[in-house]
A = this chain, B = another copy of it.
Amino acid sequence: MSAQPTAVMPSTSAAAPRGEARPQDRVFQALRRDVLLGRLRPRERLVEEELAARFAVGRYVVRAALDELARIGLVERRPNRGVVVADYDPSQIEQLYEVRETLQRAAIARMPLPAPQALLDELTAINRTYAECLARGELDEVAEANAAFHRTLFGACGNPFLAAAIEQHWEKSALVHGYAIGVPALAARSHADHEAMIARLAESDRAGLGELCSRHMQPSLEAVRKTARTRP
Contact = CB atoms under 8 A, between A and B. Distances in A.
Nearest to A92: B7
Interface in A147-201: 159-162, 165, 169, 172
Q: Could you say which interface size class chain A belongs to? A: 35 or more
A95 B161 contact: yes
Contacts of A96: 161
B8 A92 contact: yes
Contact of A87 (B6, B43, B160): B6
Interface string A117-161: 000000000000000000000000000000000000000000111
Nearest to A98: B159
Interface stretch (A30-38, A71-79, A217-225): A71-79
Contacts of A99: 106, 159, 161-162, 165
A102 interface: yes
A5 interface: yes
Contacts of A39: none
A160 to B, nearest CB: 7
A82 interface: no
Contacts of A48: none
A11 interface: yes
A22 interface: yes
Contacts of A67: 67
